[in-house]
Structure 1
Amino acid sequence: MLKDKDSAAIVGVKDLDHAKAFYGETLGLKLEPKSGDDVAMYKTGGTVICVYVSEFAGTNKANAVVWGVGDEIESIVAALAGKGVTFEHYDMEGATYENGVHQMGDFRMVWFKDPDGNILLLNSGD
């Protein structure tokens, strides 16, 4: 039924202008023309992230968006750190943590939050 349909991440925020600065300038995503006064659409790879105003922004305690970035993870983390992004540190059995990056075997993961506390994840998957 849905296996051939595109999907999109949808992220609630409290302040759309602040979110646009983060998703557009900090993360470097391109604002799509179909954006409006109460929603911002960003192209990311072959998908879209929809950012919209919600009174429930930042209340999710799980990942809101994940990017598989492959071997670029360390360079992306360095670039984000240079823009003031701070990274989460989670204690996970079998994982090491260094310079914002969790590592389990060859798999690397990085968590950070947008201005509303939505949890964003980078991993070394493609």
Structure 2
Amino acid sequence: MLKHQDSAAIVAVTDMARAKDFYANTLGLDLVEGNDNVMQFQTGATTLVVYKSDFAGTNMANAVVWGVGDEIETIVADLRAKGVRFEHYPGMDYKDGIHSGGDFKMVWFKDPDGNILHLNNM
């Protein structure tokens, strides 16, 4: 039924101007279209929809994940240089902000509304 249909990630935010700055300038995503209530960013072969909501940041799980492959260390360093702070969770070891589980590397950070964003090397 849906296996041949495209999908997109969707994230709720409270301040569209602040979200536009973060997703376009900090993360480097291209704004495809947008208005005062909804924006669509290109991210690889998919899109990220950002919309205004009073419930922004209430999800306590990953909202968006990017598989960045071998670029994870470079991307983490670039984001850190732009002021992004990475999350650390109890019981996990980190090196330069990156958690490793065998060959699997991952980081978590939040957008200005507290939505949890995730990068991994898959």
The TM-score, its normalising length taken from structure 2, stands at 0.97
1:115 partner SS: coil
Q: State the alpha-carbon separation in 2 of the partners of residues 36 and 57 from structure 1.
A: 17
Match of 2:79 in 1: 80
| RMSD, aligned CA | 0.8
> What is the CA distance between 1:36 and its match in structure 2?
2.1
Q: State the alpha-carbon separation in 1 of the partners of residues 115 and 96 from structure 2.
A: 21
Match of 2:54 in 1: 55
> What is the CA distance between 1:90 and its match in structure 2?
1.2
1:17 partner SS: helix
Deviations for 1:19-42, whole angstroms, at most 9, x for unmatched residues?
Answer: 000000000000003x22211100
Deviations for 1:50-101, whole angstroms, at most 9, x for unmatched residues?
Answer: 0000000000000000000001000000000000000000124xx5311110
Alignment of 1:1-126 (within 5 A): 1-33=1-33, 35-92=34-91, 95-125=92-122
Unpaired runs of 5+ residues, structure 2, are: none
Q: State the alpha-carbon separation in 1 of the partners of residues 22 and 96 from structure 2.
A: 21
Q: State the alpha-carbon separation in 2 of the partners of residues 68 and 27 from structure 1.
A: 14
2:19 partner SS: helix
Deviations for 1:88-119, whole angstroms, at most 9, x for unmatched residues?
Answer: 00124xx5311110000010000000000000
Question: Across the two proteins, how many residue pairs are aligned to each other?
Answer: 122
1:73 partner SS: helix
1:80 partner SS: helix
Q: State the alpha-carbon separation in 1 of the partners of residues 67 and 39 from structure 2.
A: 22
Q: State the alpha-carbon separation in 2 of the partners of residues 58 and 98 from structure 1.
A: 27
2:6 partner SS: coil
